[in-house]
Structure 1
């Protein structure tokens, strides 16, 4: 309490980072990011603390602040912060939060916050498919819950991906291929199965598809590099009523072709291998358009990442937009991320010093 109150007396920005508890009661979240933000904020004469919904009270919040001199966390009780940065890592925890009055309380207190929440993949598709700029970059997508519609979609494209509407990091993704003899080839990250007919597949998978709100998305035949597909990970942040590109990384599949995520066996490639003026312009354009579209529809987004693919014909496609970007393996992108976030914190809190 002493630490926070001393800073508050100096009229400095106080940033609250909202996360969640694990089942064992410990605090979840990206500790290196939280520590990096605290160190950078202190250099700008600010401070941050992390907290969970369990620590929120009517007039105060219990949480933890990182003390660089002690290289450790100190438990504190603080007044409500000047800004709340939503880094809840679990969708279930965020759903519980939406049923509380916390965000309403922040609005009543005129406390800015971002991001408003995880993004549902189908909600994203519906938002972008009618957008004047973004619609041309969206792969065809439907909900995978109606048998006849699903079969017609598979018949049209022959090869599709199945994705849970609410998932991240390549979890739960499958590839479905309709052979010329009408057999169904079903491929996961570690499994492969064949069904004699679509009906055989549907009998086994109907309930699973409906339970997790799966989407069916046309497969984009990706441009290859050294024989394997790759895609782009783009990190973006808000700045002065615009959205800027913080960094671009390339991820390439290696041991499987379902996803390019590093935890699933993908590898890093440098962006300059593929960088062109045309690609730079495309990235800058979609970053600005996506940021504005999301904020207008769902609430202010201060950051997000985008997964983009390039087809064999050179067409660009937007695969995913993530409101809680994972850490980038490129250290320079992570450093810029912390810089841009702190600049945004200061901007949104009025740069009080």
Structure 2
């Protein structure tokens, strides 16, 4: 394996030999350095060099999960690659200002060439909608740098993408974009119980259930209990929101010791297809409507489920969802699925997430990191290219 050197005085990267390509820049020969990395060589290229795009401020503050970023760099370095974290404000004409994780367990600010691949980890939807973020993404794509994943997935757009795929239709719940009070009435009278979700929310936020109990319409939120409301009251609330909401048919859920559960599936692209990187089980607190751990949910191992997980079905769903998401959103290489199970054992896709959180299960975390690095390598052209 080769060595690459960074000189903090000149803010330049060097290699023993001149002419080697590092990202989109050609290096000069030199060994003077503040620190060095081991790195792969493929023909005249050194790398891969991976840029991790997050959000920040003009004064240099960065947001994001830096524990995850450090783990990525440590794992990538063991394979002979380098990653760095940057915000849209770090993009300059000939270089990018960002931060690299050093073996001394600290972040160091450097100048980097434009990278071989960019991993989009902008942490918030509102940050992704900022003009500077959109401009940075456009600038990177215009330089022919592979960038994934291109954006968050709005729930309504994901549903539309999945609905266009005949193989996925049996695994979808009727979902409607709530544009009028009549839309809400239609869903309630068709299904008696529905979930209402903000299309652009995540992590179990901005979600509640509605169901008829006799003549009463009951609204339930996890942390606020149940309330009797009218359809007009609900619509008045929804119509004042700045973000769109969807309604989704509720299922009669399979229960684990009197508690509902769902499956969280990590998916990565590999060799022109999509594969499962891990399946986690999330068990809701008794009486709660969502399974997210911050809302009282619990992580359990698959072996504790009374109903075995159907890997054959989930593999098919991962592949078909991946292809559908690519058709709708572009270069999707990583996502997760929330899959519900009804009392007959049938699977339903609740939603897809473009920027999944770290799985707490160690074996899933290890596998997802391994497969993410494989995506970096492939997208950067250091192994068989992906579509």
The answer, yes or no, to whether TM exceeds 0.5 is: yes
**Alignment partner, residue 317 of structure 2:** 286
Matched, 1:5 2:13: yes
CA distance in 1, matches of 2:238, 2:105: 51
- Quick check: 1:254–1:266 contact (8 Å CA) kept in 2? yes
Map 1:151-170 onto structure 2 (within 5 A): 151-170=185-204
CA distance 1:248–1:193, change in 2 (3 Å):
closer
CA distance in 2, matches of 1:202, 1:277: 40
State which of 106, 112, 129 in structure 2 corresponds to 1:72: 106
CA distance in 1, matches of 2:175, 2:235: 18
**Alignment partner, residue 129 of structure 2:** 95
Post-superposition CA distance 1:103-138 (Å, at most 9, x none): 333233221110011001001111112311111111
CA distance in 2, matches of 1:2, 1:275: 58
Question: Structure 2: which 5+ runs fail to align?
Answer: 1-5, 16-21, 28-40
Deviation at 1:222, TM superposition (A): 0.7
Matched, 1:336 2:336: no
CA distance in 1, matches of 2:143, 2:207: 41
Residue correspondences, number: 348
Deviation at 1:188, TM superposition (A): 1.1
Matched, 1:34 2:77: no
CA distance 1:194–1:23, change in 2 (3 Å):
farther
Deviation at 1:32, TM superposition (A): 2.0
CA distance 1:194–1:100, change in 2 (3 Å):
closer
> In structure 2, the residue corresponding to 1:80 is in which secondary structure?
coil
Q: Cα RMSD (Å) of the superposition?
A: 2.2
> In structure 2, the residue corresponding to 1:321 is in which secondary structure?
strand
Worse-matched range after superposition: 304-313 or 146-155: 146-155
Q: Which has the higher contact order (CA 8 A, sep 6+)?
A: 1
> In structure 1, the residue corresponding to 2:350 is in which secondary structure?
strand
> In structure 2, the residue corresponding to 1:125 is in which secondary structure?
helix
- Quick check: 1:84–1:113 contact (8 Å CA) kept in 2? yes
Structure with the largest fraction of strand: 2
Structure with the largest fraction of helix: 1
State which of 30, 38, 55 in structure 1 corresponds to 2:90: 55
- Quick check: 1:185–1:192 contact (8 Å CA) kept in 2? no
- TM-score by structure 2 length? 0.84
CA distance 1:22–1:259, change in 2 (3 Å):
farther
Post-superposition CA distance 1:5-49 (Å, at most 9, x none): 147346121100001127996321122221111111111111000
State which of 202, 211, 220 in structure 2 corresponds to 1:187: 220
> In structure 2, the residue corresponding to 1:101 is in which secondary structure?
helix
Map 1:172-211 onto structure 2 (within 5 A): 172-181=206-215, 183-195=216-228, 197-203=230-236, 205-208=237-240, 210-211=241-242
CA distance 1:339–1:278, change in 2 (3 Å):
closer
> In structure 2, the residue corresponding to 1:347 is in which secondary structure?
helix
Map 1:132-171 onto structure 2 (within 5 A): 132-171=166-205
Which protein has the larger Cα radius of gyration, Structure 1 or Structure 2?
Answer: 2
CA distance in 2, matches of 1:132, 1:15: 36
CA distance 1:98–1:186, change in 2 (3 Å):
farther
CA distance in 2, matches of 1:63, 1:285: 39
CA distance in 1, matches of 2:274, 2:255: 30
State which of 335, 341, 353 in structure 2 corresponds to 1:304: 335
CA distance in 1, matches of 2:272, 2:291: 32
- Quick check: 1:170–1:259 contact (8 Å CA) kept in 2? yes
- Quick check: 2:128–2:134 contact (8 Å CA) kept in 1? no
Question: Structure 1: which 5+ runs fail to align?
Answer: none
Worse-matched range after superposition: 132-141 or 193-202: 193-202
> In structure 2, the residue corresponding to 1:48 is in which secondary structure?
strand
Worse-matched range after superposition: 154-163 or 268-277: 268-277
